[in-house]
């Protein structure tokens, strides 16, 4: 039995990414501490996720076609589905998405905060009207730096080599 919840821990320009699978579906991606040892994909489905992430870091305009296990309220799932429609290199404000879904910007932020599949469900593409906005529930620090990096990576449209 696998002692870790991760079906893979892959190298990325952002540090190790833990991939959690359930019933062949991608359930979660976690940003892990830099010292976390890498784990080769445990099955073909985890290998597909690894390849998709590697390709994203090389070619940020990639469109993901992974099978996802979305665990959340119907509202959260509506928000996450809308996030997947935002093209790489583009951003949408919390307010704009809130108007589209007839809700409040705060509700959009809360749905983004509960997103367990970052990068694939690109909550980093949601920004404030006058600022970058938070990421994973943080408005500064490591997660904010990750959001800034992802936005820059996508707008420069030039891939980044994997560590």
β-bridge mates for residue 18, sequence order: 9, 30
Tokens standing for residue 60:
């940020």
Left (φ > 0), alpha (ψ -120 to 50) or beta: where does 8 sit? beta
The answer to whether 123 is a known catalytic residue is yes
Helical (H) or strand (E) element with 58: helix 44-58
In a 13 Å sphere around the CA of 51, the CA atoms on its Cβ side amount to 8
What's the rounded Cα separation, in Å, for the pair 50 and 125? 21
Phi then psi for residue 160, to 5 deg, are: -125, 135
Tokens standing for residue 106:
């705060």
Per-residue burial over 98-129, b if 16 or more Cβ lie within 10 Å, else e, is: beeeebebebbbebbebbbbbbbbbbbbbbee
Catalytic residue among 24, 28, 112, 123: 123
Catalytic residues: 123
């Amino acid at each position: 039995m696998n002692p870790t919840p991760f079906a893979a821990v892959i190298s990325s320009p952002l540090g190790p990414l833990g991939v959690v699978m359930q019933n062949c579906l991608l359930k979660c991606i976690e940003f892990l501490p830099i010292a976390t040892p890498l784990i080769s994909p445990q099955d073909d489905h985890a290998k597909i996720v690894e390849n998709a992430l590697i390709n994203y870091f090389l070619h940020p305009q990639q469109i993901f076609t992974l099978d996802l296990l979305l665990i959340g309220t119907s509202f959260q799932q509506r928000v996450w589905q809308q996030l997947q429609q935002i093209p790489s290199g583009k951003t949408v404000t919390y307010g704009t998405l809130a108007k589209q879904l007839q809700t409040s910007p705060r509700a959009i932020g809360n749905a983004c905060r509960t997103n367990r599949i970052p990068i694939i469900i690109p909550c980093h593409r949601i920004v404030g009207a006058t600022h970058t906005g938070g990421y994973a529930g943080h408005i500064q620090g490591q997660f904010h730096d990750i959001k800034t990096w992802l936005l820059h990576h996508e707008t420069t449209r030039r891939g980044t080599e994997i560590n």
